[in-house]
Amino acid sequence: MWSGLAALSSVVALASYRYLAGVGPVPPNITANRHLSPWIVIHAAGAATALLVGPWQFVPALRGRRPVIHRTLGRVYVASCAAGGVSALVLATGVSAGPIAGAGFAALGTAWLTATTIAVREILMGRVPAHHRWMIRSFALTLSAVTLRLYLPLTSLMGLDFTISYRVIAWACWLPNMIVAELFIGAADT
């Protein structure tokens, strides 16, 4: 499961870096975002780095035997979430698909920043199991970038209306991830 998630995360992250280089296709709904520049570049840089780095933080051998690498990547992950999350909140207010989609992304961005902040607070207080649980929640939210990009082509294949599907996906790309994260945390605790 880890390899699959890491591979999907890396593909989506590396493809997203195209916004930094200004190359490749930009979907029409993104071009129509009212707050595109400079926020999409900040968002792609931060959020994609969080997606790229995140999976490695869950490798037990790296955590146990290379704590310096874990702490360094952890700082990169948190800084990337901060940049990706704040810019996501700005982008959410400019979404061309309307307020239902905008609210979905704003709620996701708020949950992402909150989970990551609590995870940092827990490790600063020395509460390692709670830090682990909140980082699972944080990364489950980071993975919304992957689930969104799996659902979008599916709805297109099913011939569904793009704007209506997009409004649903703005919520569906992360709420089920939260349920899976809680099940995973529950199974790990027992």
Residues that bind ligand HEM (CB under 6 A): 12-13, 16, 19, 27, 29-30, 33, 40, 43-44, 47-48, 50-51, 84, 88, 91-92, 95-97, 105, 108-109, 112, 141-142, 144-145
Q: Which is nearer to ligand HEM, 34 or 127 (CB)?
A: 34
Measured CA to CA, the distance from residue 13 to residue 33 in angstroms comes to 20
Per-position DSSP letters for 177-190, written without gaps between them: HHHHHHHHHHHHH-
List the structure tokens of 36.
């595109």
Q: Which is nearer to ligand HEM, 32 or 183 (CB)?
A: 32
In single-letter form, the type of residue at position 61 comes to A
CB 102, CB 93: distance < 8 Å: yes
Measured CA to CA, the distance from residue 22 to residue 33 in angstroms comes to 16
Element (H, E) at 167: helix 162-172
Q: Which is nearer to ligand HEM, 130 or 152 (CB)?
A: 152
Q: Which is nearer to ligand HEM, 27 or 67 (CB)?
A: 27
Measured CA to CA, the distance from residue 97 to residue 51 in angstroms comes to 25
Q: Which is nearer to ligand HEM, 16 or 57 (CB)?
A: 16
**Nearest to residue 78, comparing CAs of 37, 118, 18?**
118
CB 57, CB 70: distance < 8 Å: yes
